[in-house]
Structure 1
């Protein structure tokens, strides 16, 4: 009897805890949006009340003070280009690892999984050394100029590949071999079968990796701070930190909350819109 009640109560308690966590986070997101529409006095004196007057000017103040125009362009370009490069590199690699019968394929998949366990903070010094060496080499010996945003893009792609390859390998293993056999009977070679047959079938997994990398690259902060120090090269997270440094002295807290909304809300909307597809793509390859 005790075991029966335990089997019933534990799932319910877990469900309640998860829903409580969801409600808390949604309430926090709504609260941040509410503060972005207040002036600094209302933020401090009535943090949980509706704004007396809606201060839409907070958004223009944050946009101008932090240089969000250039930062938003940098973040958009780096996120889109980086995410597409990650998918373009990880999808063929995952397909080869998933379909190969060699022992080395399993080991390589394990190595990619090991890459997930390496925190970026542990390789900060090598990142800085490589960044300085690359920029010096390109300026002195190759082109005469270099843009640190290119270095940032390369590091973002390289450090995101282990996760992308690991997830797509599991998803590719869940695909039936018959689709490739049918393509071979129609005269398609390996490359054509992969591009025209496997990729369309693997679209849910590819879209999952793409969306997760869009969210991850958009929110990337540490690499941006290490590699792109100038205001013209900064991304939105780095610009937001700069905004915090200036707003805490001017006490314009409404504008600071507006900056948080500008950075965070687009990714929240994206995840709410495509969240089900992400979950389907992640769970399809579990245990494969």
Structure 2
């Protein structure tokens, strides 16, 4: 029995170890390459750098506008995530708790919109923002990010709100608390795991978004990291700035890795609770 248990454990662990190596190795190679000169990259691409030099990071941050793009991405990610919560929490509560004519139709419309490819709305959205004079506007881009993820956020929050005991809300109503007080003082703290999960997943998606930023932003000073990294990739190809490219990739990837590592427990907890509920 012990042999069978050991073999079954190895059968699970070995593929996971292989997959982990496949995922981690390119990241490790990228981090090492960020500290190398071009000569070192071409001469010994797999070796450690002779000297850990941060010049590539400084060049990427200043000369290739990665610093400006980093700040822009931080802005649209934070504002988009906040706006998405502001729109989604009351909507999810109304659709879950309040029964009114058209309730199911509205909910099904939100959920079915998740199945529509977003690319179908890019051209109409471009001309709409053009007429409203909102092209090349980070505030408008943040709003679009937020609105585009409302159905997904509602989908997550409804599963959590549906399991909040109604007796708590009834008791609060008897004590004289209004619907907004019930929502923000009772329901919202109880669905904190769902809110954190949705926010983290939305923030990672906003941070990595590329196509909408490419279409709706025109000035280089307004570029987000996705667009700036694409320009850096093109320049690196013709200027042989591979060390700078690796450094720029590190700048773009490190915040996501740190963010996910810090909140990984909340993501797993939220997704598990959501699945059970």
TM norm structure 2: 0.89
What residue is the counterpart of 2:257 in the other structure? 268
Q: Distance in 2 between matches of 1:20 and 1:101?
A: 51
Match of 2:240 in 1: 251
- How many angstroms does 1:180 deviate by? 1.4
The CA distance in 1 between the partners of 2:88 and 2:20, in whole Å, is 32
- 3-state SS of 1:47 partner: coil
Unaligned 5+ runs, structure 2: none
Q: Give the aligned partner of residue 21 of structure 1.
A: 19
User: Which residue number in structure 2 is paired with residue 185 of structure 1?
Assistant: 174
Q: Secondary structure at the match of 1:285?
A: helix
Distance 1:247 1:155, change over 3 A: same
Post-superposition shift, 1:147?
A: 5.1
- The aligned counterpart of 2:140 is 151
1:71-90 equivalent positions in 2, closer than 5 A: 71-90=69-88
Q: 1:94 to 1:55 in 2, by over 3 A?
A: same
- May I ask how many residue pairs the two structures share in their alignment? 272
Secondary structure of the corresponding residue to residue 286 of structure 1: helix
Q: Is 1:162 aligned with 2:159?
A: no
Query: For structure 1, which runs of at least 5 residues remain unmatched after alignment?
Result: 139-145
Closer/same/farther in 2, CA of residues 203 and 58 from structure 1, 3 Å limit: same
| Two-structure CA RMSD over aligned residues (Å) | 2.4
Change over 3 Å in CA distance of 1:163–1:179 after alignment to 2: same
Please report how far the alpha carbon of residue 163 of structure 1 lies from its aligned counterpart in structure 2 after TM superposition.
Answer: 0.9
Conserved? CA contact 1:171–1:281, under 8 Å: no
Match of 1:70 in 2: 68
Q: Which portions of structure 1, spanning 4 or more consecutive aligned residues, are displaced by more than 6 angstroms?
A: none
2:37 is the counterpart of 1:39: yes
